[in-house]
């Protein structure tokens, strides 16, 4: 098994900020040309992934804010009441019993 690692170096000036250096050229050695080409492809993929992550994050934040806005509109009074099937049956039986009882007293 072969393990490979790649490093990215950033030049920093005395003011602790990035400085721009002239581009590195691979020269004529075929191995260096291959590595240079592969590095450019890895950078392209990395930047593409970064953009996808950024777009996904922004979409999630927009959805999240719209959910928050909707939840601001829902109050305990306006929220739908969720009843379990057993509770629903008990409620219906009670209503039926009450309805039956009121008809008997007529």
pLDDT at position 90, please?
81
- Which tens digits make up the pLDDT trace of 87-98? 778 888 888 777
| pTM of the predicted model as reported, rounded to 2 decimal places | 0.43
User: Residue 36 burial by CB count (10 A; 0-12/13-18/19+): exposed, middle or buried?
Assistant: middle
81-85 CB contacts, 8 Å cutoff, 24+ apart: none
Q: What's the pLDDT score for residue 95?
A: 80
**CA-derived radius of gyration, the chain:** 34
Tokens of 16: 């602790």
The CA distance from 75 to 73, in Å, is: 6
Instruction: Read off the pLDDT of residues 29-53 as tens digits, 9 standing for 90 and up.
Output: 999 999 999 989 999 999 999 999 9
On average, the pLDDT of the chain sits at 81
| pLDDT for residue 27 is more than 80 | yes
């Amino acid at each position: 098994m072969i393990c490979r690692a790649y490093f990215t170096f950033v030049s920093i000036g005395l003011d602790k900020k990035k400085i721009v250096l002239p581009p590195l050229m691979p020269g004529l050695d075929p191995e260096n040309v291959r590595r240079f080409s592969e590095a450019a492809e890895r950078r392209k993929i990395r930047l593409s992934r970064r953009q996808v992550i950024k777009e996904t994050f922004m979409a999630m934040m927009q959805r999240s804010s719209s959910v928050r806005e909707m939840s601001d509109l829902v109050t305990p009074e306006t929220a739908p009441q969720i009843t379990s099937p057993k509770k629903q049956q008990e409620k219906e039986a009670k209503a039926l019993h009450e309805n039956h009882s009121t008809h008997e007293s007529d």
